[in-house]
Amino acid sequence: MSVVAIDGPSGVGKSSTAKETARRLGYSYLDTGAMYRAMAWLCLNRGVTDPVDVLEQVRGVDLEISTDPDEFFVSVDGIDVSEEIREPEVSENVQTVSAVVDAREELIDMQRTIIAAAPEGIVVEGRDITTVVAPDAEVRILMTARDEVRVARRAKELHGNADAEALAATQSQVTGRDAKDSATTSFLEASEGVYTLDTSDIDFDQVVETVLKLVKDSQ
Q: Which residues are annotated as a binding site for ATP?
A: 8-16
Cα–Cα nearest to 35, from 81, 101, 100: 81
Cα–Cα nearest to 22, from 51, 47, 2: 2
β-pair partners for 122: 3, 28
Numbered residues of the known binding site: 8-16
Residues 6+ apart with CB under 8 A from 1: 118, 119, 120, 121, 122
**Beta-carbon-side half-sphere exposure of residue 219 (alpha carbons within 13 Å):** 12
Cα first-last separation, the chain: 11
